[in-house]
Structure 1
């Protein structure tokens, strides 16, 4: 029966555009602008904004905001560059804020 439902995934809370698979979560222990956030290895159906340097809780990073490709809602950001060696694992990964995404097929 579970095979009929399809993969567990997350969608934009605003328009239900599918943006990430549950299996692509690396960590649920991140902080976004509006509370808890998840670190994903991949995201889909998104637009990536311009790069900018930001001082985050773990130091200086080059990031780009991530938007829903359908409605334009800001969902989080993409790590483009980490300046500290211990943070390099985040490069190319996506932060999606829990408050901005909804569970689908659970």
Structure 2
């Protein structure tokens, strides 16, 4: 859904924002030691989660460019942690290899 919305430049962008909040929450829970790395990896293996995480890590500007100014302030300046980015990059590579 997210990829189609970005490509078509239409849809309910608030849905993508909610998904971003979930991904950022998972990243911050691991970053601050509340959940172990294994839990984060399990979460990212859920259906379509890795795909959307990849969009957020690598192409977040496409989502942000479609938002009104009121949302823009909430989402600028956030950086995913290095472990989160490494998991996403590793997962993206596996997805490409299996296609």
What is the TM-score normalised by the length of structure 2? 0.27
Instruction: Choose between structure 1 and 2: higher helix proportion.
Output: 2
Instruction: Choose between structure 1 and 2: higher strand proportion.
Output: 1
What is the TM-score normalised by the length of structure 1? 0.26
